[in-house]
Structure 1
Amino acid sequence: MARYVMVIDSEKCMDCKACIIACQQRNQVPYGFYRNWVHETDSKNSPCGFKFQPGACMHCDDPSCVRACPTGATWKSKDGTVEIDRSRCIGCGSCIKACPYHARFRHPVTGTADKCDYCHGSTPGQTPACVAVCPMHCRIFGDADDPSSEVSKVLAARKAVHIVPLGSGAKPTLTYLDVTTPSELPAASTTSYPVEAIRPLSKGVTWVGGLVLAALTGTFVRQLVKSSEKEDEEIAAETKAASSAETHDKEDNA
C-alpha cells in the first residue's frame, strides 16, 4: 500500500498565500479558519526581511490527537494520513488541545474537528490543492514507498528535517528539506499576519462601502427632490403665465 507524505522546501516559499486560498476553496473551509499556513520569521539575510515556513497537519506516526480522541473518530490510516470520521466526532475538542502543532480547529458549522487530510475526498492520493497551485513548487506530495515518485527521489537526495515541539514526543511525517525557519513552531496562531489581517480589513472595507453607498443614495434622493421642486416651479410659472395671459385677453376684449 502507498505511504503518502508531504515534503516542503521552505527556502522557495515567497508567502504568496496561494496554498492557503486553494485549500479553503477545495475543502470549503469557513472564512477565518485554516487547514494550512505560512509562518513568518524575521531574517536580516532575506531580501524581503522575512523567511517563510509553510505547514499543515504533520500526519504524525503515533499521533497524540488519535490517543486523545475518546470515540475513535480520528485515526492513522494505513496510507499515512491522519483522518477524521465526522460522524463519530462529538466535538469535545480533546484532539484539538492534544495537537502540539495547533493544526486542528472546531468547524463552526458542524461543531466537529477539522484539519488537513491531504485533500483525500473521494480519491486518496490525489494531489492536494496546496501542492497543485504552488508557483514555486515548494510543496511536494506523493508515495514515499514508491522509489520512482518525485517525493522519494527528493527525500533520497536532500536532508530531511522534522519540526518537533519541545516535550511533545511528536513523530511528524511532514518533512522539510535541508533547513527550515523557525526551527520550532510558534505556540500561538498558525496563520501568518497578512492572512489574519484580512478579517479586520474586510470589515473596514464593508463599512467604507456602506458609507459610500449611503452617500450616493443621499445624493440621488436629493437630486430627485430638487428635480421635483424644479418641475413644480416650472409648472407654477407656466400656470401663472397662462393665467396672466388669459386676464390680459379678457381686459382687451372688454
Structure 2
Amino acid sequence: MAEKKKRWAMVIDLRRCVGCNACTVSCKIENNVPEGVFRSWVKEIEKGDYPEVTRFRLPRLCNHCDNAPCLAACPVQATYRTEDGAILIDYDHCIGCKYCMTACPYDARFLNPIRKTAEKCTFCYHRIQEGLLPACVTTCVGGARVFGDINDPESLVAKLVANNPVQVLKPEMNTEPYVFYIGADQNIMGARYDKLEKGEK
C-alpha cells in the first residue's frame, strides 16, 4: 500500500485556550505583519442575555481547506496549494484584486497595506519546512494549539482528531477545512457565527 502524503493540520483545544493572545503577538512578530491587520487572532464572542451571558474564545486563522474557494477565485493563480496541503500566496503574482478575500468564508485574508497584496496565515510554512512548529503553536501557554501531519496516525494531531469530537468553522460551506476545534459551542461554529460576531441575537 502506498504511503499517504503528508497533510498539515491544526487542532485547537478550546478547553485549554486562556485568551492570552500570545498566538496573535507571536504571529505578527514572526511574519512581520503590519499594524492593524492579523494573520491569526482570537475572537471573543458573547452569547445570551444579561445576566445569563456566556463568553467564548475562538482562535481564528486560515483553514487551509481542501475545497478552498480562494483557489478558484484568484484570476492569476497567485493562490496555490502545496503538496502537503498548505494554501499559500505568491506575492510576486498577486495583483491585489481582493477576489480571494471575498471568496473566503472565514474572513481569513486581508490586503497587506504596505505590499498591496493579499495575505493570510501560512501555517508558518517557512518554519515547518525547517522542521519547526508554527510560531503560534510554540507560544501557546495553555498548549491549546497542536500542529502536525494528520495523515500520520502516530502524530498528536491525528490522535486528537480520532479520539475527540471535533468541530470545524462553518461546516455548511463544505470547504473541508484542516483547522479542527475541540470543545467548541456548536452555535458559534455554523451559520449563526456571523450573527454572533456582529452582536446580533
On the 8 A contact 2:127/2:133 being kept in 1, the answer is no
Give the RMSD, CA atoms, in angstroms.
2.2
Letter in 2 for 1:129: A
* 1:54 and 2:65 matched: no
The one-letter amino acid paired with 1:101 is: Y
Instruction: Verify: 1:110 aligned to 2:115, yes or no.
Output: yes
Match of 1:76 in 2: 81
1:1-254, aligned counterparts within 5 Å? 1-42=5-46, 50-121=55-126, 123-124=128-129, 126-164=132-170, 168-180=173-185, 182-184=188-190, 185-186=193-194
**How many residues of Structure 1 are paired with residues of Structure 2 in the alignment?**
186
The offset of 1:165, in angstroms, is 6.3
Q: Kindly state the Cα deviation for residue 156 of structure 1 after the two structures are TM-superposed.
A: 1.5
Identity rate, percent: 38
The Cα of 1:3 is off from its aligned counterpart by 0.7
Distance 1:180 1:54, change over 3 A: farther
Paired letter, 1:150: L
Query: What is the distance in 1 between the residues matched to 2:184 and 2:126?
Result: 31
So what's the TM-score if we normalise by structure 1? 0.68
Q: Distance in 1 between matches of 2:39 and 2:197?
A: 12
Q: CA deviation at 1:12?
A: 1.8
In the alignment, structure 1 segments of 5+ residues that lack a partner are: 191-254
* Higher fraction of strand: 2
Q: Which runs of 5+ in 2 are unaligned?
A: none
SS at match of 1:42: strand
Shift in CA distance, 169/87, structure 1 to aligned 2, threshold 3 Å: same
Q: CA–CA distance in 2 between the matches of 1:122 and 1:128?
A: 6
Using a 3 Å threshold, how does the CA distance of structure 1 residues 149 and 122 change in structure 2: closer, same or farther?
A: closer
Aligned-partner Cα distance in 1 for 2:170–2:197: 17
SS in 1 for 2:15: helix
Q: Is the 8 A contact 1:12 1:138 kept in 2?
A: yes
Q: Which has the higher helix share?
A: 1
Larger radius of gyration: 1
Residues 122 and 153 of structure 1, relative CA distance in 2, 3 Å threshold: closer
**Which structure's relative contact order is higher, taking Cα pairs within 8 Å and 6+ residues apart?**
2
SS at match of 2:126: coil
The alpha carbon displacement at 1:123 in A equals 4.2
Q: Which amino acid aligns with 1:186?
A: D
The one-letter code of the counterpart of 2:10 is M
| 1:26 partner letter | E
